[in-house]
Structure 1
Amino acid sequence: MYIVPEKAVADLVTREASFDAVEKVFAAMASGDAYNFPVVREAIGHEDALYGFKGGFDRAGLTLGLKAGGYWPNNLEKRGLINHQSTVFLFDPDTGKVKAMVGGNLLTALRTAAASSVSIKHLARQDAKVIGMIGAGHQAKFQLRAALEQRNFEKVIGWNFHPDMLPNIEKVAAEAGVPFEAVDLPGMRDADVIISITSAFAPSLMADHVSPGTHVACMGTDTKGKQEVEAALLVKSTVFTDEVAQSITIGEAQHAVAQGLIQESDVAQLGAVINGTNPGRTSDDQITLFDGTGVGLQDLAVAASVVEVAVEKGIAIEVDF
């Protein structure tokens, strides 16, 4: 078995490699070559933590495994650790033996950012110039860096429930040479692309905050009860997701479906757009929305690429297990 510790991952993976892995696995899911296992995600009754498992099998890439971990909201304040903590385990699909254990914290941040940037590549207008960010935490920085590579954005606008955190994304914008402006939520009407990355249980972005032609990536809702955008926005949008079953149960679409505003059949896989079996955006005034619930196959795909590079470079620790 190979072990790739968290501290080694940063030197073994890039945004480009993460994007490629996620795009391929979305396509494989839509074509039926890969599937995710049911998600287990529970409040453990300690430290307000949410803990769970995401896994799956990619027949095309012969990648089998799971990610174990979750969200510890007190980590940063109490221990100086990031709130999201996880580990990825890969198994040999021929024998069932464990192949690798990989630190999953940076991988989670990169694969989540890759998912939204894949959606921007395939769904946002080509002439998109202004990108809006809702949320300014740890993950928001990864989201913005990845998104800025997908279009020739000329401005970043941002809102956060705690405005004192906005310098996190302002710094990313400055690094890319793009001006930044803090706005109120109605100011998001100026955005051509909006990424929402919060852990909220009540919507911030309302339907009338989004202009025709905008692409919205909802990246924070991955648990029953969470909600980042008004359900009415999904009615106004053409909705895409990573995994339809997750979208309507633990993703952003759960609320619109529960209220009878949309049906499961109104939610399409982003992978179908990648494969060319779904046209995706069909007009410049169409609102498209990507419900990024986070699937285990994303983690496995990126982790497998990390292990491959780690073995090639002699960085992976090999143990007899």
Structure 2
Amino acid sequence: MLYVSEQMVRDLVRQADVTAAVSEAFVALADEKAVCWPIVRETLGHADAVFGFKSGFDKSLPAMGVKAGGLWPGNAARGVPNHQSTVVLFDEDSGAPKALVRATYLTALRTAAASALSIRHLARADARVLGLMGAGGQGAFQLEAALAERRFTKVLIHDPNAANVEALADYARAKGVSAATGDPRYVVAEADVLITVTPSRQAIVKEAWVRPGTHIAAMGADTVGKQELEAGILASATLFGDVAGQAVRLGESQHAFGQGLIGEETVRCLGDVISKRHPGRTDDKEITVFDSTGMALQDLSSCMVALKAAVDAGQAIELP
């Protein structure tokens, strides 16, 4: 059994490689060559933490495994990332454990990859203003991945933490992009592409603020009760997700679904757009929303990238 550490992943894995792998995972799901099993995600009643499992099997790689991890909000005070993830890959023929991959950094990369792919396939070609609601640990990853997809000339950022906002704005400027901060209404109303990546449990993006033609990558809601967008936005938009069933149970769509504004069939799978089964955006005035809850296939494909990189570099550790 091989072991790949967080440091190996940071040293060896690039965002572009993860984005390519996640794209293939979406296609494998659309082609019915891969399957995700139901997510387990629960509050612990301890340390204000949420813990869960994502698992699946991708015949096209092949890769089979499970990611265990979650959110410990108090970790930052200890100098440890709030999000913690570890993936175990299993041999698809025998079921024996094949690799243990620390995946906290990888999870950030694969989450940004999913958002970036939604921009690639759903945002208007002339999108130039990027809005970011949330400047925490995911902020820089989301920004870098998005900049690879469109020629954004300006980034607008909102977050309650002023220090995080300024740090992310400085990061954007270092990438050669103009950056400004503002209140939520300003960021939403000016954005051609809006990425929401917060832990909010109430709508912070109002329907009245969203302009025609906007693409929204809603990345924050992945648990029952979380919400970033007013339900009416989803009811009036063309709606996509990673896995439709997950979106209406755990994602941003849960609220519109619960109010009877949309059905599960309303949510198209992004993999169908990538594989050309669905046209995606059909009108420059159309509002598109990508409701991302995360799926095991993203984690498995990313871990296969990390495992190969570590083996090729001679750094993967053989465990007794």
User: Structures share a fold, TM > 0.5?
Assistant: yes
Instruction: Report the CA distance between 1:46 and its aligned residue.
Output: 1.1
Residues 110-149 of structure 1: per-residue CA shift (max 9 Å, x gap):
0000000000000000000100000010111110111011
Residues 245-274 of structure 1: per-residue CA shift (max 9 Å, x gap):
110000000000000011111100000000
Paired with 1:306 and 1:31, the residues of 2 have a C-alpha distance of 24
Paired with 1:221 and 1:24, the residues of 2 have a C-alpha distance of 23
Counterpart amino acid of residue 296 in structure 1: A
CA contact (8 A) 1:51 1:69 kept: yes
* Equivalent in the alignment of 1:156: 155
- Computed over aligned residues only, the root mean square deviation of the Cα atoms, in angstroms, reads 0.8
* Equivalent in the alignment of 1:82: 81
* Equivalent in the alignment of 2:235: 235
* Equivalent in the alignment of 1:114: 113
Q: For residue 19 of structure 2, give the secondary structure of its aligned residue in structure 1.
A: helix
Paired with 1:59 and 1:126, the residues of 2 have a C-alpha distance of 33
Counterpart amino acid of residue 59 in structure 1: K
Paired with 2:302 and 2:25, the residues of 1 have a C-alpha distance of 10
Residues 51-87 of structure 1: per-residue CA shift (max 9 Å, x gap):
010010001111000110100001002x111100110
* Equivalent in the alignment of 1:268: 268
Residues 140-194 of structure 1: per-residue CA shift (max 9 Å, x gap):
1110111011101110011113334211320221121111111212212111000
Counterpart amino acid of residue 74 in structure 1: G
Matched, 1:20 2:20: yes
Residues 84-121 of structure 1: per-residue CA shift (max 9 Å, x gap):
01101100000000000011110000000000000000
Counterpart amino acid of residue 96 in structure 2: K
Counterpart amino acid of residue 202 in structure 2: A
Q: For residue 11 of structure 2, give the secondary structure of its aligned residue in structure 1.
A: coil
Residues 219-270 of structure 1: per-residue CA shift (max 9 Å, x gap):
0111001001111110121000001111000000000000001111110000
* Equivalent in the alignment of 1:60: 60
Paired with 1:172 and 1:271, the residues of 2 have a C-alpha distance of 31
* Equivalent in the alignment of 1:205: 205
**Which structure 2 residue ranges, 5 or more long, are not aligned?**
none
**Which structure 1 residue ranges, 5 or more long, are not aligned?**
none
Paired with 2:160 and 2:200, the residues of 1 have a C-alpha distance of 10
* Equivalent in the alignment of 2:225: 225
Paired with 1:241 and 1:168, the residues of 2 have a C-alpha distance of 30
Counterpart amino acid of residue 103 in structure 2: G
Identity of aligned residues (%): 47
Counterpart amino acid of residue 118 in structure 1: L
Counterpart amino acid of residue 182 in structure 2: V
Counterpart amino acid of residue 235 in structure 1: A
* Equivalent in the alignment of 1:182: 181
Residues 289-315 of structure 1: per-residue CA shift (max 9 Å, x gap):
000111111011000111111111110
CA contact (8 A) 1:137 1:168 kept: no
Paired with 2:91 and 2:313, the residues of 1 have a C-alpha distance of 21
* Equivalent in the alignment of 1:124: 123
Q: For residue 212 of structure 1, give the secondary structure of its aligned residue in structure 2.
A: coil
Paired with 1:189 and 1:108, the residues of 2 have a C-alpha distance of 30
Instruction: Report the CA distance between 1:31 and its aligned residue.
Output: 1.4
* Greater Cα offset, 211-220 or 157-166: 157-166
CA contact (8 A) 1:207 1:236 kept: no
Q: For residue 250 of structure 2, give the secondary structure of its aligned residue in structure 1.
A: coil
Paired with 1:30 and 1:206, the residues of 2 have a C-alpha distance of 32
* Equivalent in the alignment of 1:93: 92
Counterpart amino acid of residue 317 in structure 1: I
CA contact (8 A) 1:242 1:291 kept: yes
* Equivalent in the alignment of 1:278: 278
Paired with 2:184 and 2:130, the residues of 1 have a C-alpha distance of 13
Q: For residue 132 of structure 1, give the secondary structure of its aligned residue in structure 2.
A: strand
What is the TM-score with the length of structure 2 in the denominator?
Answer: 0.98
* Equivalent in the alignment of 1:292: 292
CA contact (8 A) 1:199 1:221 kept: yes
* Equivalent in the alignment of 1:30: 30
CA contact (8 A) 2:112 2:141 kept: yes
- Superposed, which structure 2 residues align to 1:238-257 within 5 Å? 238-257=238-257
